[in-house]
Amino acid sequence: MKSSQILKRVLKCISVYKFSFIFSLILSIVSVAGTLYIPVLAGDAIDMIVGKGKVNFDGLFYILAEIVVALIFSGISQYFANILNNRISFLTVQDMRNAAFEKIQKVPVSYIDSHETGDLVSRIIADADQFADGLLMGFQSLFTGIITIFGTLFFMFSINVWIGLIVFVLTPLSLFVSRFISRKTFIYFTKQSEQRGRETAFIEEMLSNLKTVKAYHREELNEVKFDEINEQLGKESMKATFYSSLSNPCTRFVNSVVYAAVGLAGALCALNGIISVGNLSAFLAYANQYTKPFNEITGVVTELQNAIACAGRIFELADARPEAEPNGSLPEKISGSFDVRDVSFSYDKSRELLKDLSFRLESGQNLAVVGPTGCGKTTLINLLMRFYEIDSGSIKIDNTDINSVTRQSLRSHMGMVLQETWLKSGTIKENIAFGNPNATDKQIVEAAKKSHAHSFIKKLSNGYDTYIGEDGGNLSIGQKQLICITRLMLCPPPILILDEATSSIDLVTEQRITRSFMKLMQGRTAFVVAHRLSTIVNSDLILVMKDGQVVEIGNHSQLLKKGGFYSTLYKSQFN
């Protein structure tokens, strides 16, 4: 996205607070007007001091009183303008953050899978902070600087047109210099933001997988990789900083030349009686004030280049295409029959994964999906839940195509326990009641007893009120899985999906949970993905997958009699 397009988007975001912006602009004008009026008063005061014994004290005190009033008005206006500028800046960034976070909730799972988590976090947090700082500096310095430039021009031309023309003609040289430099800074600030996102992503990845890193002694290799990323970030930052730092000294040099020219021309005019000494003093003050905003603006432009680059990364996330959502919905009560016909799907469109997958599951039946790693078992679950969209074919529940109903309607009839657990920061009770926040303590305890989690929960320091950190804190993997199973037991829907739900639980507890699951499955349609084939021998239907296709289908005894691929898998676990 080009910087001009990003700037238009930023202005559109700011336009929401246009009344605050207009009021801030008025206050800035009042503040600058008060500041610029002081040199005129100071010049008049100097002209009242003609020589020894020729001082107009009455007029001098009156002018000094006017200067004090102007300073008070200018200070108060600047104070409230700064408050409004802060409010506009942080509310604008808040809106952008909300839009980006809201989009994360709506983008397909494939989008999240294709972007590093740390990079997405960096966009919403670090880039948003950088943008806020640049925007605030723009409000505080850019607008007051522009107003100061026009105001000083007005006062200078009102004093002497010819000297004013000297300033007006020479000063734009600093703008050409800063424009040339700003083109370079935007490129390098964009690269700096991207590299910062890479670094954040790498750090997040290392922290979340620290045990694996230590187990495989990858500390030194990761340090080397981090040093490479950090060094590249340093190079991009150095280039951005170098070019941005050129702006201020270059413009200061041009402005010093302008000030010297004004002083020389003004002195000649004063010697020839064209202007008074007081007017010359005012003119020099205005020349200094006129050049000062250019120095500030060039510094602000550098920050704005960085802010625009960061805003572009936030807008890229906010512009991500959301999941297509139909308007249909499933009935409140469904029987739960499934009809899967000719389904094909692949994560990478150049490589097929599922091809022409077909089967039918009647209401109340439980289907077990088995097969070697990578054959498409979990992918099938992702498609049933519509985490991913099928490439072709159809999946129907009670003869209703799932692509014709909202995901909320579909998933409200499904409950799932995955091999990978997910727990949020909060109490054990809050984690269990995640799907039913209105559940009573009695209902939560009953659900925990069904999942055989009650015994270990009671041994915790505060029982069900024990606070756990992100991803379960110090709980074992098996305990985390038990809490996720309890979550399902609390509000069982008509369709159950169990993807290696007991993979991290000991055999004795697994047998008990399996009996609970069997009771839970009565009258409900269930999909069970399992590597331990002993846990699915009582399934109504077993789907045997290999290389993305169904190679066998039937119940346990039928498949053993066939002596095919399932029979080989089953016997291999018990030989």
- CB proximity list for 217: less than 8 A, separation 6 or greater: none
Q: Is the dihedral of CA 190, 191, 197, 200 positive or negative?
A: negative
Cα–Cα separations (whole angstroms), residue 483 to 347, 458, 494, 495: 31, 13, 20, 19
Q: Do domains 3-318 and 338-574 have the same CATH topology?
A: no
The token duo for 287 is 């020349």
373: confidence class by pLDDT, cuts 50, 70, 90? confident
pLDDT at 569 (0 to 100): 82
Give the domain ranges of the chain: 3-318, 338-574
519-574, pLDDT tens digit by residue? 777 788 888 887 777 677 778 888 888 877 788 888 888 888 888 888 888 887 76
Structure-block tokens of residue 441: 């303590």
Query: Is residue 418 classed as helix, strand or coil in its secondary structure?
Result: coil
Q: Locate tokens 């500096």: which residue?
A: 137
Q: Which amino acid type is present at position 438?
A: N
pLDDT, tens only, 281-322: 777 777 777 767 766 676 677 677 778 888 888 888 888 888
pLDDT for position 47: 73
d(CA 277, CA 267): 9
Which pLDDT score is estimated for 174?
Answer: 67
Give pTM, 2 decimals. Answer: 0.65
- Check: CATH 3.40.50.300 for 338-574? yes
Task: Express each pLDDT in 126-163 by its tens digit.
Answer: 888 888 888 777 777 777 878 888 888 888 788 778 87
Q: How many residues does the chain have?
A: 575
Q: For 273, which DSSP code?
A: T
DSSP code, position 323? P
pLDDT the model gives residue 299:
64
Tell me the C-alpha to C-alpha distance, in Å, between residue 9 and each of 188, 312, 315: 21, 9, 8
465: its two tokens = 């009120």
More confident position, 12 or 418: 12
> Which pair of structure tokens corresponds to residue 358?
């077909």
Pull the structure tokens for residue 198: 């890479």
Q: Of 185, 196, 306, which Cα lies nearest the Cα of 239?
A: 185
pLDDT on residue 394: 92
Residue-wise pLDDT tens digits, 417-430? 877 778 888 888 98
pLDDT band per the 50, 70, 90 thresholds, residue 52: low
What residues have CB less than 8 Å from 513, skipping those under 6 apart? Answer: 451, 452, 485, 502, 505
Whether 90 shows a pLDDT value over 80: the answer reads yes
Span 361-365, average pLDDT: 87
What's the confidence (pLDDT) of residue 520?
75
Q: Is the pLDDT of residue 51 over 60?
A: no
Report the SS3 class of residue 89: helix
The better pLDDT of the pair 216, 433 is held by 433
Q: 3-class SS at 51?
A: strand
Q: Which residues pair with 343 in a beta bridge?
A: 357
Higher-confidence residue: 560 or 274?
A: 560
Distance in angstroms (rounded) separating the CA atoms of residues 347 and 248: 51
Dihedral (Cα; 571, 572, 574, 575), 10-degree rounding: 100
Mean of pLDDT values over 20-32: 87
Average pLDDT over residues 56-81: 85
Structure token pair of residue 29: 């004008």
Phi, psi of 370 (to 5 degrees): -130, 160
Quick one: pLDDT at residue 76?
92
**Nearest to residue 532, comparing CAs of 419, 449, 416?**
419
User: Rounded to an integer, what is the distance from CA 224 to the centroid of its chain?
Assistant: 28
d(C-alpha 311, C-alpha 318), whole Å: 10
Pick from 170, 312, 188, 327: which is nearest to 244 by CA? 188
Whether 380 and 387 have beta carbons less than 8 Å apart is answered as no
Please tell me the chain's helix, strand, coil percentages from 3-state DSSP, rounded to the nearest 5: 65, 10, 20
Task: Read off the tokens for 277.
Answer: 């000494």
How many other C-beta atoms can be found within 10 angstroms of the C-beta atom of residue 36? Answer: 23
- Mean pLDDT (whole number) for 67-85: 88
CB of 461 within 8 A of CB of 490? no
Determine the pLDDT at residue 378.
Answer: 82
**CA proximity to 259, closest of 284, 279, 234:** 284
Give the C-alpha separation, 540 to 367, whole Å: 6
pLDDT, position 323: 81
The β-bridge partners of 550 are 545
- Sign of CA pseudo-dihedral 19, 21, 22, 24: positive
C-alpha distances (whole Å) from 17 to each of 13, 20, 30, 79, 85 are 8, 6, 20, 19, 10
Strands 525-529 vs 366-370: parallel, antiparallel or unpaired: parallel
Asked if 191 and 236 touch (Cβ cutoff 8 Å), the reply is: yes
Cα(99)–Cα(571) distance, rounded to whole angstroms? 54
Region 3-318: CATH code: 1.20.1560.10
Section 114-136 average pLDDT: 83
Q: Cite the DSSP H helix spans in 272-349.
A: 277-318
The pLDDT, as a whole number, for residue 504 is: 62
